[in-house]
Copies of this chain bind each other. A is one copy, B any other.
Amino acid sequence: MEKMKAIFHIDEMEKWSLTLINVRNLLRDSEEEVEIEVLANSSAVKGFTPDFELAHVITKQNAKGVKFSACKNALEACDLGKNDILEFVRVVPNSMIELIQKQKEGFAYIRP
């Protein structure tokens, strides 16, 4: 069977804690490799600034292979530029297109 792949969708700051706990448990409990992307849009992109209280968790999970993406439209709406966020975060032109494409590629959608 094909590799496990999941895209987590987060659009509220209040959901970062639960989302990162879900990702941590998934990394820990999975016996096979899992491809994981955490996509933030709307106000949740503010979680990618280095002074966010969970930035160290995000950084640690990225070191373990988790991809983090931010919606360009949302960053602009929050007045954040590429230089204001963690350097490993990928900026996607449109988060909806990203969600559609990943699901077409077989990623499971998870909305904590």
- Residue numbers of A with Cβ under 8 A of B are 1-2, 4-6, 9, 11, 18, 21-23, 25-26, 29-30, 34, 41-42, 73, 93-97, 99-101, 103-104, 106, 108-112
B18/A42 in contact, CB under 8 A: yes
In whole angstroms, what is the CA distance A106 to B106 when docked? 10
Q: Do residues A4 and B101 form an inter-chain contact, with CB atoms below 8 A? A: yes
A96 — which chain B residues lie within 8 A by C-beta?
6, 22-23, 25-26, 29, 110
Establish whether residues B73 and A25, one from each chain, have CB atoms under 8 Å apart when the complex forms.
yes
Q: Please measure, in the bound complex, the distance between the C-alpha atom of A53 and the C-alpha atom of B82, giving whole angstroms.
A: 34
Distance between A7 CB and nearest chain B CB, rounded to angstroms: 10
A96 CA / B7 CA spacing, docked (Å)? 11
Which residues in B have their C-beta under 8 angstroms from that of A5?
100
Nearest opposing residue in chain B for A18, CB measure: B42
By a CB distance below 8 angstroms, the chain B residues around A21 are: 42
When A25-B73, A41-B22, A111-B9 are in contact, do A1 and B104 touch as well, CB less than 8 Å? Answer: yes
